[in-house]
Structures are given as structure tokens and as C-alpha cells.
Amino acid sequence: MKKNYSPATKCIHSGYEPKNGEPLALPIYQSTTYSYSSPTEIGKLFDLTADGHMYSRISNPTVACVEQKIADMENGVAALCTNSGQAASFLAVTNIASAGDSILVSSKIYGGTTNLFAVTLKRFGIDCIFFDQDIDSESLAAMIKPNTKLIFGETIANPALSVFDIERIAKVAHQAGIPLIIDNTFATGVLCRPIDFGADIVVYSTSKYMDGHAVQLGGCVVDSGNFDWTQNDKFPGLCTPDDSYHGLVYTQSFGKLAYITKMRVQLVRDLGVYPTAQAAFLLDLGMQTLDVRLERHCKNAYTVAKFLEDSGYAEFVNYPALESDKYHGLAQKYLPKGCSGVVSFCIKGGREKAEKFMNSLSLFVNAVHVATVHSCVLHPASSTHRQLSDEMLVKAGIDAGLIRISVGIEDINDILEDLKNALNKAFE
Ligand SMILES: *Cc1c(COP(=O)(O)O)cnc(C)c1O
């Protein structure tokens, strides 16, 4: 595949290139195992001296095509798919951080990742230190400790909708000799390619826009190949012998592919988090329309955000593409094509009006999901943050009247009419 195609073309053509007479659609290789002609050839696979599929816990030809497509779209050297976004974040971190290490994480990240890092990884001895992603570079640099192995943030945070200053924070990380990992789930490679701004590793929940139809759960880790793991002694797992492969050293044997290769042949081998060929096929099908879908998601969401802002019923509206938004400047730099379909707003009158409004919607689906073709709505105070009292909600930065909307790709007039009707009913 020629590298200079735009993402809109790559999301259709990259990864799988059928030869003369072969199927146009990506074939589903429904096989756990692969056939070889001799034990010598299988031995080479175990020594990592030959390429090839060994067992579908580690790689599969259908999944490999999708991995290639995503790597190509992101301008990375390689990608690895997983069976959830959570698995991708877990692998991305534990590939380079072990017990006794710490990681520096934006406090605005997705709640599921917060649980994974702050609670579960803590049990494994990895300390998660949160930082305010808007603090100045010097203060951030001062938070990096000798045992800090990485910085982690989200391009557009779910659900805070803050925009991460990738280029600035990548510089802080690189000055300290550690990589920047970016969760690009909401933006996707169509709206922002973090590697172009200095991010070293990109992670995904492909369950969101990449799939786009709410049919498969998946994740992905993309390696830029740009980080020099040998520049200091912080990454022994990559630069010293791995006993499970006869003392092989990843940086020596695989160069720019060291990080992603170690992740596959060590962690994915051991943890069992690889996706099925069926799931990869569905993801690929979704990705073929990623560019056109996001164009409509962004356009519809901007119209909805403007409408809510002007309606008189909102205390405030969060959408980084809005001129009034705190992150508008960063959005112009990192997300010039749009800021995805997710908008949040705080309805006047708090919890009571929020519930009335949501009960009055008919096109919007009440769902604990975002980033699908269907318009969805969620009230954090009565769902994801249900355990908290109104007082505790304020402390957590979630207003009782906050509503998260994932604007779908339906006709904008139907979307607006549904919102207008529901607002009128809530306030009649
Ligand atoms: C949903 C989500 C995840 C977790 O992904 P799953 O596929 O649900 O495991 C991680 N990061 C972000 C930003 C998400 O929105």
C-alpha cells in the first residue's frame, strides 16, 4: 500500500490486498492452528527466527490484516489487536512497567481505565500518579520520578471532552527519557494521528467509532517505532535477555518492532487477550466507512452543541469544536476536521429536569455506549456515578444535571426535533 494515501482511502484499502482472482472481502480465517511441513519449521516459529502464524492465541491472518490497516492509518510501524480496549491499555502499560514502577496518568481519562490503573494495577505493585493535563510543562516534569515509566492521556477524554496537548506533553516525556501513550478512541486516525505529534504508543477501544455499529468489542495498540528503548536503563524488559525465548533481547533482534513484538510473543501469549477472526472481520467492515461516518458524526454533533448552547436550557455545553469551549484552541490544532459525535451538557434544573428530558426522548436510545451510528444518551448521575450523593457528585466534577449525548448519523432534522420536543416537555 502506498503510504501517501489519505486515511479515508487507507481505511478501505490498507491491510488486505487481494491478488488476482482472490476474494475482494477480507476472508475470515476460522482456524485456531496452522499447518507446517516439518518440526524444523515449527521450531523456527518458537525461536522467533521465522515469520508465520503458530496459534490463534498469538496471531491470525484475518486479525493481522486489520492490524496492518490500523498501523498504516496511524503512521505506526506495527499494531496489535486485543479483545477489548481495556486489554489494550493493560498491555500497553505492563509491557514496560512492572511491580515497583510508577506511571503518570491524566486525571481526565475514561473511568474504566482509572479503575484499571489506580485499583487493579496497584495490586500488581504499579503506582498510578494522576496529573492535571492542563498544568504547565515544568510542574509536570517535576512529577516524574526515577521509577516513572510512561505518561498516559486521551486525545479527547471520555466523558470530560478535554483535549490533550499531545505535542507539548510528548516533549516533557521525551526529556525525561520515557514514552507518551495516547488513548485515541474518540478521535480515531481519521480526526487525529497522535504519532504525528510525537506520541510513541497509541491505544484504542475499537468498540467505539472504529467499529461504529456496536457489534464487536475490541482494542488495539499501535507502535510508532520511534522511541529509543536503549537510551537509558529504564526498560530492562526490552533490552535484557528474555528467558522464555532462550535469552533473546527484543531491541537487538527486532529494532523498531521491539515493543510490539515483546507484547505479542510474551504478554499476549501468556494472557489470552487476542480477538477472534470473526470480531476482526466485523471491525474491518466498520472501519471501511470510518471516514464518512465521522464526517457526519462531527457535523451533527456541532449542530447539536450549537443548538443546546443557544436553547437557554443548558447551564453549559462541552464540545471542543465550539468557539466558547475551553479546549477550542487545542481542538483547532489537533482536531481540525472535528471533535467526534460526543457532546455533554448540564441541563438547568439538575437531576429532576435531566430525568424528565431523558424520559421524553424517542429517537435517542438510553445506552451505556457511545460512538455508534445510533444517537445515544446517558445520565451519569443515575448510571455510571449512581452510588454518589449529589454532594459527592460535585466533588467528582459531575453535575447532577450533566447529560452525555453521543450524536449518531441520522438526519440532523430528526435529531434536533427529538431534542426540542424533549426539552419542551421537561420544562412545560
Ligand atoms: C470504552 C473505552 C475504553 C475501554 O474499551 P472497551 O473496549 O470497552 O474495553 C478505553 N478508553 C476509552 C476512551 C473508551 O471510551
Residues 361, 422 share a domain: yes
Residue 355: inside a domain:
yes
Top mutation candidate among 162, 208, 273, 342 for ligand 1, by most atoms within 8 Å of CB? 208
Atom number in ligand 1 closest to CA 157: 13
For ligand 1, atom 2, which residue shows the shortest CA distance? 205
Residues 74, 199 share a domain: yes
Residue 99: inside a domain:
yes
* CA-CA-CA-CA dihedral for 188, 110, 325, 291, to nearest 10: 10
Distance, CA 374 to ligand 1 centroid (Å)?
18
| Alpha helix ranges (H) inside 176-257 | 188-191, 236-239, 250-254
Residues 346, 239 share a domain: no
Summarised one tens digit per residue, pLDDT across range 273-286 is: 999 999 999 999 99
Residues 253, 163 share a domain: yes
Distance, CA 236 to ligand 1 centroid (Å)?
29
Residues 311, 281 share a domain: no
Residues 339, 209 share a domain: no
- Domain closes at, from 239, 267, 285: 285
Q: How many domains does the chain have?
A: 2
Distance, CA 249 to ligand 1 centroid (Å)?
32
- Domain closes at, from 219, 250, 285: 285
* Cβ atoms of residues 375 and 365 within 8 Å: yes
Distance, CA 86 to ligand 1 centroid (Å)?
6
Residue 72: inside a domain:
yes
At 334, which CATH number?
3.90.1150.10
Distance, CA 205 to ligand 1 centroid (Å)?
4
Residue 389: inside a domain:
yes
For ligand 1, atom 4, which residue shows the shortest CA distance? 85
Query: What pLDDT sits at residue 395?
Result: 67
Query: What pLDDT sits at residue 311?
Result: 96
Range of the domain at 185: 7-285
At 102, which CATH number?
3.40.640.10
Residues flanking ligand 1, CB < 6 Å = 84-86, 110, 112-113, 154, 158, 183, 185, 205, 207-208, 217, 219
Top mutation candidate among 81, 82, 84, 86 for ligand 1, by most atoms within 8 Å of CB? 86
Residues 334, 297 share a domain: yes
- Domain closes at, from 285, 319, 350: 285
Residue 60: inside a domain:
yes
Query: What pLDDT sits at residue 13?
Result: 96
Query: What pLDDT sits at residue 2?
Result: 59
Measured between alpha carbons, how far is 71 from 195 in angstroms, rounded to an integer? 11
Residue 2: inside a domain:
no
Q: Which three cell numbers stand for residue 317?
A: 455545553
Summarised one tens digit per residue, pLDDT across range 20-31 is: 999 999 999 999
Residue 1: inside a domain:
no
- Mark the ranges of the chain whose per-residue pLDDT is less than 50: none
Residue 34: inside a domain:
yes
Q: In whole angstroms, how far apart are CA 353 and each of 306, 360, 376, 384, 428?
A: 20, 11, 18, 18, 11
371 Rama class: left (phi>0) / alpha (psi -120 to 50) / beta: left
Query: What pLDDT sits at residue 258?
Result: 98
Residues 218, 178 share a domain: yes
Summarised one tens digit per residue, pLDDT across range 310-345 is: 999 999 999 999 999 999 999 999 999 999 999 999
Query: What pLDDT sits at residue 1?
Result: 54
Residues 374, 238 share a domain: no
Residues 296, 206 share a domain: no
Q: Which residues contact 189 (CB under 8 A, 6 or more apart)?
A: 7, 11, 70, 73, 74
Residues 136, 236 share a domain: yes
Q: In whole angstroms, how far apart are CA 334 and each of 106, 184, 192?
A: 17, 12, 6
Q: Got the DSSP string for 139-189?
A: HHHHH--TTEEEEEEESB-TTT--B--HHHHHHHHHHTT--EEEE-TTTHH
Residues 295, 278 share a domain: no
